[in-house]
Amino acid sequence: MSSAAHALPVFDSPFALVARRGRHVVAELRTPAKVLSTCSVNGGLRTDVRHLVNHQSCEPVKHQERFEIITGLGPEGYHRSVCAELDLAPASTAVMGTAAAMQYLGIATHTFADLAITALVTGGVTGNAGSAGDTAHYDEVDGKWVRTVPTHATAKPPGTHSGTINTLLLFSAPLSDTALARAVMTMTEAKTSALLELAIGSKSSWRLATGTGTDQFAIAAPVAGSSTRTWTGKHTKAGELIGRAVRDATLEALRWQNGLEPSYTRSLFHALGRFGLKEEEFKTQIARFLDAAQCQLLKDNWNPVIYEPQSAAAAYALAAVLDRMLAGTLSPATAREALINQAALLAAGLAARPEEFPTLRAELVNALPVTLAPSPESLLPAAVELVTRALTLGWQRKWQS
């Protein structure tokens, strides 16, 4: 039996019907459409696409069998196999792939006057988030991916990493080619806005992430209709609707796929992980400052500690100081004092003893080198050491009678 018989509608309008068919989300365009997409087959600007597909091509981790199938078929062959599975015509179908589950689809529609804009987003950022301009590891030479930096032999080529944000954007009114191109910019800014709201860090640098390395999109608008939009920048209602729909749908998708509830992002490791504060390493390092009983008590009460709100507030403030120092806004001389202040607040928050801020600060002064170089290689290890000391000091002080 065709998967169409088991389709679950998730969005319905005069322009498009979108339904989930197992591992696939299929948008059937009911009228002639102008489509712009990053799809490897039938991508770019087209007017002959009738179906847009987003689908889970593999599981996020260690799904080697699917990886071999996809790479073995190649882009054209794999495109045909997906279309065959869905009983769709390959020549008029555009396909996006991801490791994210289609059940975690984020959907948001915003309207103004005659215009309705709907964003349907799947997303994962835990393995592939990055900031535009991060060091890349591949170049394309004669149709093949070539490593540009040494790595272990099992490294995967572009398009096979865990973590992708796929965005399907549907308009109820026609767009000029210019407006369609500008919509890509507004849509991308909205996606990045969602990542900044969740404080998602790059996996390749200290910066906040602007997307993932494998993000894709497809935008569709009817060819005919009244009130064609010629501009979709942020000063227009069309741009506003794009921004709100994409941001809302992206936040919803990441909430379901990665568990990124806003309150859970207050974790100390979410705040400072992009600077090198890692959970497993921290659990090892605390033994330098705590005795065995104190270490075990901390590990046994891990979540209440790492989510403590006052410490989290100080951790995010410390992250902001590090950002501004690495960006050149703060000089190393002024940043050192600011970092120590925030570390003392972090310790006082964990200890639930705000009145001891001066004492805790005095104990942390020597935990940071007097001379700080404003480079990630020298600054960040020192900052991680400072945070480790602050947290263990706060834990000691909390239960010190």
Q: Is residue 328 over pLDDT 80?
A: yes
Tokens of 303: 């979540």
% of the chain exceeding 90 in pLDDT = 85
pLDDT tens for 106-131 read 999 999 999 999 999 999 999 899 99
Report strand pairing: 106-112 vs 144-147: unpaired
Counting the structural domains of the chain, the total is 2
pLDDT tens for 6-22 read 899 999 999 999 999 99
The answer on 292 and 235 residing in a single domain is no
> What average pLDDT does the segment 229-254 reach?
98
The answer on 122 and 36 residing in a single domain is yes
The answer on 162 and 40 residing in a single domain is yes
Among residues 245, 260, 275, which one ends one of the domains? 260
* pLDDT value of position 164: 95
Q: Is residue 151 over pLDDT 70?
A: no
217 lies in which domain range?
A: 3-260
Q: Is residue 250 over pLDDT 90?
A: yes
**Kindly report the CA angle at 295 between 266 and 365, in degrees rounded to 5?**
70
Q: Is residue 158 over pLDDT 80?
A: no
* pLDDT value of position 3: 60
Distance CA 288, CA 223 (A): 66
pLDDT bracket for residue 104 (50, 70, 90): very high
The answer on 115 and 63 residing in a single domain is yes
Q: How many helices (H) and strands (E) does the chain have?
A: 11, 15
The answer on 47 and 180 residing in a single domain is yes
Residue 93: give its domain's CATH number. Answer: 3.60.70
* pLDDT value of position 137: 86
The answer on 321 and 242 residing in a single domain is no
The answer on 123 and 154 residing in a single domain is yes
pLDDT tens for 45-56 read 999 999 999 999
Q: Is residue 4 over pLDDT 70?
A: no
* pLDDT value of position 34: 98
Tokens of 176: 């000029």
- Number of CB atoms found within 10 A of residue 230's CB: 13
Among residues 222, 238, 260, which one ends one of the domains? 260
Distance CA 313, CA 82 (A): 47
Which of the two residues, 3 and 175, has the higher pLDDT score?
175
pLDDT bracket for residue 333 (50, 70, 90): confident
The beta-strand segments (E) located in 99-178 are 106-112, 115-123, 129-130, 138-141, 144-147, 165-171
Identify which of 262, 222, 100 has the alpha carbon closest to the alpha carbon of residue 167. Answer: 100
Whole-prediction pTM value?
A: 0.93
Among residues 215, 234, 260, which one ends one of the domains? 260
pLDDT bracket for residue 160 (50, 70, 90): very low
The answer on 275 and 200 residing in a single domain is no
Burial of 38 (0-12, 13-18, 19+ CB in 10 A): middle
The answer on 251 and 278 residing in a single domain is no
Collapse the DSSP code of 213 into the 3-class scheme (helix H, G, I; strand E, B; otherwise coil) and give the result. coil
Task: Name, in order, each residue with C-beta under 8 angstroms of 26's C-beta and a sequence gap of 6 or more.
Answer: 7, 18, 19, 20, 51, 52, 53, 86, 88
The answer on 297 and 185 residing in a single domain is no
The answer on 118 and 26 residing in a single domain is yes
> What average pLDDT does the segment 312-338 reach?
94
